[in-house]
Amino acid sequence: MPASPVSIRIDIASQTLDLYGKDGALIRRYAVSTASRGAGEQRGSYCTPRGQHIVRARIGKGQPANTVFVARRPTGEQWNAELAAQNPNRDWILCRILWLSGKQPGFNRLGDVDTMRRYIYIHGTPDTEPMGVPGSIGCIRMRNRELMELFELVPAYTLVEIVG
């Protein structure tokens, strides 16, 4: 695993994602939306897992900003108000996916606390969804245009620390 030139820190309390360079300098800060149920590692909790993770997979390169994903695959749909009205309870995963994998066995890796098996992502969401407040079912939501920028700066195996 080559060392990544960047690292990510997500703060659940402040609802922010900070991108740091190799030298520890802050490169970017984004508002995010983590789980409405708060922090937690247990499968089925609908909480955002804490601790040390890595970006295990980068999905969606080259897709348009409002591409809809289901099970990490583009559906062929483009999110818009009409599609949203037809699917009022759908949890929209748009644009890009950074699929996280826990690094701490027994805390966020393996068994009933495995971040990757819980399908925890950093992913895009409709612009109608608020940022800076909890609202997801476990994932870290971002504005599509900001996630597209982050996606280009973050290689696979980038360290992601989630605190709060």
Q: State the pairing for strand pair 6-11/159-163.
A: parallel
Helical H segments across the chain, by residue range: 81-86, 144-153
pLDDT range class, residue 80, cuts 50, 70, 90: very high
Say which amino acid occupies 91.
Answer: D
Query: Of the candidates 161, 122, 146, 128, which has an alpha carbon nearest to the alpha carbon of residue 35?
Result: 122
With a cut of 80, say whether residue 151 has pLDDT above it. Answer: yes
- Map out the domains of the chain with their CATH numbers: 6-163 (2.40.440.10)
Query: Of the candidates 39, 37, 30, which has an alpha carbon nearest to the alpha carbon of residue 8?
Result: 30
Task: Give residue 1's pLDDT.
Answer: 64
Length of the chain: 164
Give the chain's mean pLDDT. Answer: 97
pLDDT tens-digit map of 4-24: 899 999 999 999 999 999 999
